[in-house]
Each structure stands twice: as C-alpha cells, then as structure tokens.
Amino acid sequence: MKTMNGDPSVNPPKPVSTQLLYVLLGSAAILMLPLLAMQLSNEMKWGPFDFGIFGLMLMTIGSLYVFVSRLVRTRQQRMIVGLGLGLVFFLCWAELAVGIFGSPFAGS
C-alpha cells in the first residue's frame, strides 16, 4: 500500500477528528488521576474550577500538538514541538499550582 508521498513504509496520518477524539479521551483519563487521589487522601482538595482549568489546559495543549504536528514534516520536528508544548504546559501548571513566577494568576 503506497501513501500520498509514494513511500510504503510511512503510514498516512489519521483524520484530525480521530486525533482530537484521542486528545479528549486522554484528557478525561488523566483527569481521573486527581479524582482518584482525592478519594484516597484528604490532602488533595480540588474543586470543579480546578478540574475545569486542568482539563482545559490538557485539551488545549493536546489540540495544539495535533494541529502543529500536521504542519511539520519529520519525526524529529514533531518531537521538538511536543517537548516545547510539554514545557509550556508544565510551566503554566506549576505557576497555577504554586506560583513559581509570582504572577497575579497564582494569587500572588
């Protein structure tokens, strides 16, 4: 089976709708971890706002990766995009959680 570029070893990309469904399901699965932690420990107390923000962050970063990875050609470029988006996600999450930069968003 040949792909659009004629290379049979490269699989064609999945449709965007399928990839976005994976992002949605993956985000929901990751959101189950804090929910489970809240059931097992009294030290973790998240409200609906916390779950909403974390879910929005997960879906935004995942969707950005889906769209941007379609624009780059090589696996190495997609890895760089993924690592960059992961770093942005981690820094935003850390700022909202503990205020590492002391911005108004962290309540400082």
| Residue 3 included in any domain | no
- Predicted TM-score (pTM) of the model is 0.79
| Residue 6 included in any domain | no
| Residue 7 included in any domain | no
> 3, 10 in Cβ contact below 8 A?
yes
* pLDDT one-digit tens code per residue, 71-89: 998 999 999 999 999 999 9
For residue 4, what pLDDT is reported? 53
| Residue 1 included in any domain | no
Domain that holds residue 47: 16-106
| Residue 20 included in any domain | yes
| Number of domains into which the chain is organized | 1
In whole angstroms, what is the distance from residue 62 CA to residue 23 CA? 6
| Residue 101 included in any domain | yes
